[in-house]
Each structure stands twice: as C-alpha cells, then as structure tokens.
Structure 1
C-alpha cells in the first residue's frame, strides 16, 4: 500500500470524487483558470507551479495498483461505489497512465497585478473532461510558494528603497533578509517550498530544505548561503558570568569571514558597551582584517533596540559618513535584527534608522514565521474556476456571478494574458490575440514542455530599481 504522497488519485477533495457524474451529458471539454482575485499585495510573484508539475504530474502517475488503492479508500469513505474507476482505467490504458491535460502559465517569477489569469488547465482527451477540475485541489496549492515569494519581494522593495536613500549602493540587497523560518513551518515539505520561494528574491537562508527544493525542481546548484552563528544555548551554557568567554570563543573559533553572535541573553546594552566595545574591542578590530562580526539583538522593540545598539557601538568603534551623509560603522562590525521582522514592521525599523542618521547598510534582517507562515490562501485571494466548456459540440462561456459577493465574479471563455504599454490585461471569451498571449504551454499529456531555471525565475522577479541600477553600471 502506497502513501497518499505517492498516489495522485488521493490528492483531491472528497466531493470531487463524485463530480464526473455531475457535468452535463455530452461534456467533452472543461477549461479552468487560476488567478489572484485581490488581496494584501497589488501584484503577485508567480512561482511554484513547476514544483507541482514535476512532483505530481510528469510521466506515468496512474497505475493499476493506485486505482485499486483509491477505489478501496473511496468506497469505504463514501460507503458507496462513486469512484470513477472506469475513467482512471481509461487514462491508464489509452494514455499509459499519463494525464491528458494541457497547462499554460505565465513565466515563473513574473510579477503580475491581481485579477489576471496566471495559468489555465484543460483536458486534451474528450473522455477526460472530468480530470481538469479533479486537479484543482493540487493545482491551487501554488498559492503558497506564490504568496511567500510575493511577501518576500514586497519586503525587498522596502529594503531597496531605504538602501537607495541611505546607502551608496544596492550591493548588499540580496543578503538583507535572511530566512529563519524552517522551525516554524508545518512540515519539511512546506519549508522547502516556502523557503525556495523566498530565495527567488534573496540569497540568505538557514532553511536547508529550501536549497534542496531549488536544486531538485529548478536546477539551482546552490540557491542560498549562510554563516556561522551562535544561538542562545551556545552562549548561555557558559553561564551569565561566562558570557564574555562565549563571545571570545566565537571570535577565536571563527577567525575569518562573517560570524553572528546573539548578544541579548542577559543585558544587550552591557554586551555591546563593555564586552564588544571594551574588553573584546581589540580582538574585534584585529579580526576585522579578515572578516566581520555581526552582533545580534533578539528581544525588545526592534525600532528602539537597533538604534540604541548602533549608538552604543558607535561610541566604541566610531563611524564614517557615506556619500549620502548617513553614518556607517566600520566594515568589521554590523548588526542583524532577527526578532519581530515582518512586512508590517520592516519599514518602521528602517525609518527609525534613517531618522537617527544611520545607513541601512549597517543592518541585515532575519525573519521566520512572518516570512513563511503568516499567510494563507486568502492573503492574495487565490482561486481556480471553470470558464469554458464544450457540451454536445456547443461552446459555453462558463462563469459565476454571486449576487452576494461581486468580488467573486469569475472570468468567461478562453483567456489570454497580454502586456501592452506597461500593463497586463486578461482578455476573455476568446477575444485575445494568441500571438500576444503571455501564457506558455508548460505541461502537456504527461510531459514538462517548458522548464524554468532558478536564474530565470529570479531575473523575472527582480525589482525595476535593481535592473535600472544594473543597466546604469553597464552603460557607465
């Protein structure tokens, strides 16, 4: 007996098992689409469909054993024989267990305003009209990587804006938001999916599962990087009186490169002023010939704490002024704020730094639950709806229009996504120009026909500001 993770026939909602009996007689085509109907962010970063396709849809995914297993489950579950055994056997015998489905989608990493089609699904065999929406449950799960990538990119926009205002370059941007979210995820799989979505925008992570997923499903040899870093247990086991010895040990055991040391186990102000700033000052400076110490506060109000920590470190190590007039600690010492970081809090922290005269170059951020878990399908109001069908040879533009919620009005007919003069527009009812359609066939009849590298995804999702700066450097 296989696990549910191995049997695609078991990866749907219960009620869909009966839907093959509910379509009008003579139905031969069901064509559906996926979109963000609105939500927290005005645009979405489309990412994660390739994972779903490779994980679940490619090759022979239907076998006689899986059909028998599903029939046993569903007959017991419904206490009735409502399972579409004949339909699945047809797929096995006629298509070799490959799914007769076509999926068209926008390029992964593309940033698309909400209320636009992101992908479509349709059956390629008229006998398998029921299959399109059977797959809805699985296909809609693209909401998660898509929303993580969107949330991450929105924070990248905030950081980039403050770097542009208070720093000389954007060079540090790829490492400004570090993923601390592995332990807060609901599973290793969700950590891999969500963590890789964050890496579309940044290159800093402690979520190793994300690296594996980016490599396995997007061919990226190494999508993210980390550094040696202390946690509270490795500091507090030295005892309160031994905290300074724990700090010294970090400098000695990691004599070069970046190293991060949590410093708030007892008294962050004392740690910064007396331990780092006095007793270990010369060791920090000497180590600075080969690397950088990153001091980590991890409690309190971030807006207040980060400014005070910087002010204390300034008294010991001094500062310089960058080209925009903002203060910068020596290159051998920086701080990381890894507590309380979210889309909602980030701007307030960076604004506090700016008002206090500090460049955003002095700080990096770490985020966990707010990065990978404080979202759901309604964050971007993701939905999958049928919009076209053929019944007895007749084309039908299918839609819903609930009188109680006009926000749930769905699109009609065949769809194309077109881009003109800087704007996306979804054309309905077959009125679009196929030559201008940005939806690309990515899967057809069991085969992945278009594959995106992680580099391509990252480039598609890159901020216009970064692209502009990059182009300016090339031309200069």
Structure 2
C-alpha cells in the first residue's frame, strides 16, 4: 500500500495553492450537527495510525506515485515527498491530536486535529484528508450506531429483565461480514461494533481487535445452522436435520442456533421443535435458539416467541414479564435495523414478554447502511501558521448552506456544563484540553486497548 497514492486526484496540485508565507496548516475532523444522531462514539483512529502511518514511505513509493500521478495529468510534488524520505526517514512530519477513543461526545465536537511539524510540509495535513477522514468516519459511525442500539436494548432490559447486565452484551450480534465490501471494511466495522457488544460472527473484527487494540478475544459466537446445512437433508428429513444439530452441539449449558424457516417456520416450531424433538430440547441441558429468517421482521419473531411459550412454557419474573423456559430462545437475523429493533422491543413489552427472550443479528444495517453523511462527517482546515509564527484562523461559511460552516482557529475540547465542548485553543485558559497528542513524526503516543475503550464507552 503506497500511502502517497491514498488520496483524491485534486489533492496533488494543492501544494502550490496555499499562500507563499504559509508554514503550517491545521485541520480538524468532526461530525457536524444535523445528522442521524446527537452524539458520537469516537473510535478507529488508532487502526489508521498503526496500519498506515507507522510504515515509512520509500523512494520506490515516490517513483511509483510520480509515474502514476504525472500520467494522470496532475503535477506531482516530488521534491516534497523526496524530502520526507531523505530528511525524515520516510515518516510524515505531522502531529495528530485526538480525544480518547471510546469517548462519547455531542455532534459538533472535534474528534481529531492534525498539523504539520516542519514548515516545508504545510501542504501535508490536508493532503491526508482522504485517508484520515475515511479512517475516522466509518468506524466511528458504526460504533455510534451500535452504541445507540445498546441504549435501546439496555432500556428495555431494565424494564423487563431481572439480570439486565448479564444479558445485554450479547443482545446484538454482528452478521455483517458478507455484506461488507472487503475483509478490511468488515474488520473496521466489526471491531467498532465490539466496543458495545460481545456477540459477533465477523471474524475480521476479532482480527482487528487483536492487531490494533491488544484484545486477545473480543467477541464470541455459537454453533449455528444455515439454510444449506438444513436443506441438504431435504424437506422430508427436516426433523433429522434439526435432531443432528441437537446431537452435535446441544449439551449442558451450551447454545445452538437453528434456522427454522427453510420450508414452513410455524410447522417447524409447532410440529418438530414442539412435537417430535420437544423432549430432547427440554432435556439436553442447553438452549435451542430458534432463528425465524423470513417474513415480517417486526412481527414473526414475536409470533415465534409466543408459540414457543405455548409449547415449552414460561415463567413470570419479578418485574411482571414473561420469560421463556430456559431451553428455548429466539434470534432474528433478517431485516434488522435500529428501527426494527425499536419496534420489536416495544412489541415485546406491549405483549408482556421480557426483552431477554429475543436477540438480534444485524448485518447490512450495522456495517453497510451507513455513509459519511449519516453523521455529516467533515475534515476542514481551521488555522494557518505564517512565517512569523502567528496562527490565523481560517474557515468556511457558505451563505447557501449555513450548516456547512466550519470552525475557525486551532481547536480544543473542554468540559462545559458536564459535557465536552469545542472552543478555540487560544481561549482555553486554564481548562484541560481533552484533545491530546496521539501521534507525532512517526511515533504513536497513545496506545488504547479495547478494554480501555469499552470502559470509557459503557462504564
């Protein structure tokens, strides 16, 4: 991966566009107001620092970039890139500040800020916008979606479950790997989800957690059927297929998930699980997790819970809500989005069922149905350092779209009225700046663990 080529085409001419007296440019990243959520869970910058900025560029990278960009029709700043190789050992002369990863802040709060550390490279901070912004907006957005879902589920469990703290970490399962665009994207989004939950089928998320956040095992899964392993038995042997799952994976304290809609979900629940295999389900000592995988995602899971309640029975907990017999639970993995989760939670409560009866598997709704505009992310220059050592505030303020106005001057983040708030660095006074250096001239200055981040995000 050639870092010099990790940018937009128009960036290559920008080195010649700044005022000649410029010694440094500062730029920051924020989720602007007006997006889908009012808060963001900052996450993911450390992966970019370790994966991309930790690897020095070489003269071979410069040669390759020169050939491609020149043929592409753009000027290539060869002198500048060669100086990075010869004078800075290939490491970019930049300093990056950031909030602690896992911190939850109001939208409109700077999450990270970058500036060059040598006057020859004033053009470098904004050249990195493409890769740096992408490194922040995607995992932060996924982490934010997952965290908001956690709040919804936590609220429902507090109302309906006797042990909400034990149940919560495994209520939302990441099913998104196959819907992502690449192994890398699945890893970035997969580990972002694992900030708030511990259930996942996205193995690349586990790899990212180990590689970038020193977490040996960030999430867990259970044996589960897919349609191919069930339909390969044929419809006439559907009972045998289900029994095989119990024989292979059932047992004391174990969970096994079986997709049950290959032919007729309601027949499978009533006739097979609730008839032919009922005794084995009840006596195996583990938990069968039935997966209804088609139909109306806001209705079928509740119908399945009620059928299982009629067949296997239920208890009423101290909060007055029904809990299925320990041998059966339900997971819905089709059509799940934050909106459908909200509908299902409300429906369960309305019908008197505890939220602990149902888990959710979210795929595209978690890792793929987000974009930079979900939280209105942007990276903007906010200050210019002149040759006399004076910082000058710069910003945009388009009259045709006031919502795109950017912040002027180098930024700081301080606590005001109990919440993080952005202020110009020059006005910080004695307040503590929460934006702290995390990277400088090729060196990682902070190395957060996933355990640190989870504690910060979820307490």
Sort the TM-score into its range (normalised by shorter chain).
over 0.9
Distance 2:305 2:3 in 1: 54
How much does 1:215 deviate? 0.5
Q: Within the alignment, does 1:271 sit opposite 2:265 as a pair?
A: no
What is the DSSP-based 3-state SS (H/G/I as helix, E as strand, rest coil) of the residue aligned with 1:226?
Answer: coil
Q: Within the alignment, does 1:132 sit opposite 2:128 as a pair?
A: no
Q: Within the alignment, does 1:160 sit opposite 2:154 as a pair?
A: yes
1:30 to 18, 25, 28: 25
Paired residue for 1:423? 419
What is the DSSP-based 3-state SS (H/G/I as helix, E as strand, rest coil) of the residue aligned with 2:413?
Answer: strand
Paired residue for 2:258? 261
Paired residue for 1:399? 395
What is the DSSP-based 3-state SS (H/G/I as helix, E as strand, rest coil) of the residue aligned with 1:241?
Answer: helix
Distance 1:46 1:203 in 2: 18
How much does 1:316 deviate? 1.5
Q: Is the 8 A contact 2:412 2:425 kept in 1?
A: no
Q: Is the 8 A contact 1:25 1:391 kept in 2?
A: no
Q: Is the 8 A contact 1:397 1:429 kept in 2?
A: no
How much does 1:26 deviate? 1.6
Deviations 1:379-409 (Å, cap 9, x if unpaired)? 0000001001022324311111101010011
How much does 1:254 deviate? 1.0
- Correspondence list, 1:72-91, <5 A: 72-78=67-73, 82-91=75-84
Q: Within the alignment, does 1:169 sit opposite 2:163 as a pair?
A: yes
Structure 1: give runs of 5+ residues left out of the alignment: 1-5, 468-476
How much does 1:354 deviate? 0.9
What is the DSSP-based 3-state SS (H/G/I as helix, E as strand, rest coil) of the residue aligned with 2:371?
Answer: coil
Structure 2: give runs of 5+ residues left out of the alignment: none
How much does 1:433 deviate? 3.4
Paired residue for 1:470? none
Q: Is the 8 A contact 1:412 1:429 kept in 2?
A: no
Q: Is the 8 A contact 1:163 1:359 kept in 2?
A: yes
Deviations 1:215-250 (Å, cap 9, x if unpaired)? 101111010110000001111111111111111111
Cα separation, partners in 2 of 1:199 and 1:52, compared to 1, 3 Å: same
Q: Is the 8 A contact 1:415 1:432 kept in 2?
A: no
Distance 1:198 1:8 in 2: 27
Distance 2:163 2:250 in 1: 27
What is the DSSP-based 3-state SS (H/G/I as helix, E as strand, rest coil) of the residue aligned with 2:426?
Answer: coil
Q: Is the 8 A contact 2:316 2:322 kept in 1?
A: yes
Q: Is the 8 A contact 2:414 2:431 kept in 1?
A: no
Distance 2:186 2:430 in 1: 37
- Correspondence list, 1:18-97, <5 A: 18-38=13-33, 39-59=35-55, 61-78=56-73, 82-97=75-90
- Correspondence list, 1:7-406, <5 A: 7-38=2-33, 39-59=35-55, 61-78=56-73, 82-141=75-134, 142-170=136-164, 171-256=166-251, 257-287=254-284, 289=285, 291-393=286-388, 394-406=390-402
Distance 1:254 1:238 in 2: 18
Deviations 1:52-83 (Å, cap 9, x if unpaired)? 11011125x221111111101111001x5x11
What is the DSSP-based 3-state SS (H/G/I as helix, E as strand, rest coil) of the residue aligned with 1:399?
Answer: coil
TM-score (norm 1): 0.94
How much does 1:84 deviate? 0.6
Distance 1:286 1:178 in 2: 27
* Two-structure CA RMSD over aligned residues (Å): 1.1
What is the DSSP-based 3-state SS (H/G/I as helix, E as strand, rest coil) of the residue aligned with 1:442?
Answer: strand
Distance 1:239 1:432 in 2: 70
TM-score (norm 2): 0.97
What is the DSSP-based 3-state SS (H/G/I as helix, E as strand, rest coil) of the residue aligned with 1:294?
Answer: strand
Deviations 1:323-343 (Å, cap 9, x if unpaired)? 101001111111111111111
Paired residue for 1:450? 446
Distance 2:387 2:203 in 1: 52
What is the DSSP-based 3-state SS (H/G/I as helix, E as strand, rest coil) of the residue aligned with 2:391?
Answer: strand
Q: Is the 8 A contact 1:179 1:206 kept in 2?
A: yes
Distance 2:306 2:112 in 1: 50
Q: Is the 8 A contact 1:12 1:134 kept in 2?
A: yes
Q: Is the 8 A contact 1:416 1:433 kept in 2?
A: no
Distance 1:316 1:364 in 2: 20
Distance 2:129 2:333 in 1: 37
